[in-house]
Structure 1
Amino acid sequence: MKKLSFYLMIMVLSLTACPSSMFAAEKNVPTSEPKEIPAEVQTMLNRLEEIKEMDKSSLKSSEKKELRKEVREIKENLRSSGNGLYLSVGAIIIIILLLILLL
């Protein structure tokens, strides 16, 4: 019982530490400038739109299969072009815990 209360007390004390960076500071107001889309990304997006607007009822099954393969490749290239933010599960858990503790 003594060990349990000791560990609980240490846990509570470690969770109540206040970071010094919590003080109010002047925030920089970001200017909202539209980001330019790279040319190769724009061509891939245009090709996806062309494929979506295409009349696929007149195509053969092999042609449809090629289009599906092309769409998958384009989407894969768009994902790997570095336009996203990827967080691991561990990072998400840590962020959630920090938000719970700070709020």
Structure 2
Amino acid sequence: MKKLSLYLMIMVLSLCAVPTTMLAAEKNPTTKEVPAEVQTMLNRLEEIKEMDKSSLKSSEKKELRKEVREIKKELKASGNGVYFSVGAIIIIILLLILLL
């Protein structure tokens, strides 16, 4: 039984080390290029931030807020993140509890 737990611990540690070395190999000193449409949205957000909103009517401010929300929603949708579902996290935790 002790050998089994030792082998499992070694396997888990080796699997945890592999992604870290792969991430280190992927990092480049070059900067990440931003797509043109994303850059235009970011530029528009900067323009809105720099605007003098004190002279605008309330309806115009409302339109600007709507526009900012839409741009932020589109930027989040175009993001390239890694997402874990709650079910996957629960399964991983249960497996770890059962194995260790």
Indicate the percent of aligned positions where both proteins have the same amino acid.
Answer: 71
Unpaired segments of 5 or more residues in structure 2?
none
Q: 2:60 aligns with which of 60, 63, 72?
A: 63
Post-superposition offset of 1:55 = 0.9
- After TM superposition, the score normalised by the length of structure 2 is 0.65
Please give the secondary structure, in 1, of the residue aligned with 2:54: coil
Report the counterpart of residue 54 of structure 1 in structure 2. 51
Post-superposition offset of 1:84 = 2.5
Call closer, same or farther: CA 1:88–1:62 in 2, change over 3 Å: same
Q: For 1:50 and 1:99, how far apart are their aligned partners in 2?
A: 49
Structure 1 stretches of 4+ moved >2 Å: 19-25, 27-31, 82-87, 90-102
* 2:38 matches 1:34: no
Unpaired segments of 5 or more residues in structure 1?
1-11
- After TM superposition, the score normalised by the length of structure 1 is 0.64
Q: For 1:49 and 1:101, how far apart are their aligned partners in 2?
A: 51
* 2:19 matches 1:22: no
Count of residues paired in the alignment: 89
Please give the secondary structure, in 2, of the residue aligned with 1:57: helix
Q: 1:72 aligns with which of 69, 72, 77?
A: 69
> In proportion to residue count, which structure has more helix?
2
